[in-house]
Chain A
Amino acid sequence: MDDILIVEKACKSFGELRAVREISFTVDAGEIFGIAGPNGSGKSTLFNLITSIPYPADSGRVLFGGKAIHRMRANRICRAGVARTFQKETAFDTLSTIENVMLGSVYGHERPDTPTAQRRTREALAFVGIAEDQYGRPAGELSVFDKKRLMLASALATRPRLLLLDEPASGLTKPEIDETIELLRRVNAEGVTVLVIEHVLPLLLTVSNRLMVLNQGQELTTGRPDDVVRDEHVIEAYLGSRGKDDGRDS
C-alpha cells in the first residue's frame, strides 16, 4: 500500500521539556489512524509538527505523498493537501459561519474562482451537517457541536487528502459522538486519510484501522486497536495516570 505520511524521528522541546522525542510512524493512504495517550503525552504537539501550525519540528523529517514538507511554510503544507482541526474550538468568531468556510475554500487551494469556492463552501457545510439557519450566524455564537463541525468544514473546504483531527469528540454528548463517528467514516469514504487524536477510547476503537499510543513524548506501541488495548505497557500508562486522565483537557 502507499504511504501517504511518513514521520521520521520528529522531535520538539519546550526548554527542558521534551514534548515529542524521536517519534516515527507511517500512515497508509486511505486509513483511519488513531492516536491515544495520557494528558501531556505529546499528541497535539505531534500534529503541530506535521502541519507547522504553529511551529515546525526541531529535528526529524515529515514526508507527505513522498514529498518532504517539514521545511515548508504552514500555508504551503495546507495547499499541498494536509488539513487539521484544533483541540479547542477555533474560528473567526465575529465572521459568519459561511464566511469562515468560504475563507477555507478560497485560501486552502490554488485560486478557485468565486462560484467554485462558493459551491465548495456550501458542500462542506452540508457535508458536516450544520443546519442552514446557522450559516449566517457569527461563528462565536454557535453551539459546541456546531463549532467543532464548523472547524471540520473549514478544514474540508481546503480539499485535503490528509486530515488531522485533534479530539473531535471531546465535550460532546453521546448522540453527538455517534454522529461524529459517522461523519469521520464519511470523510474517510471520500478518500481522505484521517489521523485522529482522541481520549474517547470507544470512538478510537470503532473507527481506527490502526492505533498508536504515546506516553511522555514517545511511542509506546502501534498496532490493531484490539491488540493495543490489551498491551500491558498501555494499560500501565493509562492506569498510572488515571486520576489526571479523567479530568480531561486543559
Chain B
Amino acid sequence: MAFETAQSVLLSGIVLGSLYALMATGLSLVWTTLGIFNFAHGIFMTIGAFIAWQVGTDLGWGLGPAAGIALGVAALVGVGCLSEFLLVRPFLSRSGIVMLVVITTLSATIFLENSTLLIWGARYKQMPPLIEGKVELLSTAISAHEVLMIAIAPLTLLTLWVFLKFTRIGSAIRAVSQNQESALLMGMNVPLLYSIAFGLSAGLAGFAGILLGSIRFITPGLGNEPLVKALIVAIFGGLGSLGGTIGAAYIIGLVEAISTFFIGLYWTPAILFAGMIVVLLLRPTGLFGKK
C-alpha cells in the first residue's frame, strides 16, 4: 500500500478517535458516577450541533462560531442537568434503576429528536469549518478543521482530568462514584453531584456534536451512529475507567478507518462488534478495565 494512503487512513482514524473520545468519556463519566447508561447521549450531540448552527451561522443568528460553541455547550450542560432531574432522579432509590433509565433516556431521545425536527425542519444544515483551508500533515493534505479536532479533543479531556483530580467538586464526583454511603456519611449532596456529572457529560456530547456538525450534515439523527460507537468504545475500554475509554476511542477510530478503507463501510460495524465480543470473551472487564 502506498505510503500516503497509509498516512491518510491513520489520520482519519485519529480524527474519528478524537470524536469518539469526547463522546465516550461523557458516557463513561455518567456510568461511573451514577451507574447508568444514558441513551440520550447521542441526541445531546445533535442538539449541540443545531444550537451552534442557530447561534453561529449566517442562516441562523449569525453571531459567529465562538458564540455558537459557547452557547451550544452551555445550553447542553443545562439540558444535561435537567435530564438528570427528570429522567434519573425520580428512580434513584429504585432497585431496577438501570433498566428504568434505559427506557426514560430512550423515550427522551425520541421526544427530543422529533422536537429538533419540528424546530429546525428536515432540510440538512451545515456549519462552516471552524478553520478554513487545508494543512499539510505527515505529507498528507488534511482539512484544518480536522487538525483542530485532533488537537482539541486531548486538551478538553486533559481539562476534565484536571477538574476531576484537583478541584473539590471533582474529587467529590470521583468519590461518590465509588461509594454512595460514604459520600452521604461525609455530608455530600449526592443528587447535586449526579446532576453536575450529567451536565458535564452532556456538555462534552454537545461539543462533540458541534465539531462533527462541520464535517457532516446536521440532521436530527446526527448523533445516532456516534452513540453506538461511543457505547462500543466505553464497553471495549472497560467500563468505569476514563483512561481506558480514551485509549479505546483511538483504537476503535483507527480500526474503523482501516476497515472502512480495506473492507468497506458496510462491514465496519460488524467488524467492530465482532472485535468487541472477542475482547469481552477474553477480558470480560474490557481492554483496560480492572477486575
Contacts and interface: CB of A to CB of B under 8 A. Distances in A.
A90 B182 contact: yes
A229 B188 CA distance: 39
Q: Is the interface of B mostly helix, strand, loop or mixed?
A: helix
Interface residues of B, number: 20
A74 interface: yes
Contacts of B186: 78, 103-104, 107-108, 154-155, 157-158
B242 to A, nearest CB: 13
Contacts, number: 76
B196 to A, nearest CB: 14
A103 B179 contact: no
A9 interface: no
B195 to A, nearest CB: 13
A153 to B, nearest CB: 11
Interface in A190-214: none
Interface in A84-138: 84-86, 90-95, 99-100, 103-104, 106-109
Given A53-B181, A95-B178, A154-B182, A75 B171 contact: no
Interface string B178-212: 11111111111111000000000000000000000
Contacts of B180: 54
Interface of B: 93, 168, 171-172, 174-175, 178-191
26 contacts: A53-B185, A54-B181, A75-B184, A75-B187, A75-B188, A78-B185, A78-B186, A79-B187, A83-B185, A85-B185, A90-B182, A90-B185, A91-B182, A92-B175, A92-B178, A93-B178, A95-B175, A103-B172, A104-B185, A104-B186, A107-B186, A107-B189, A108-B187, A155-B185, A157-B186, A158-B187
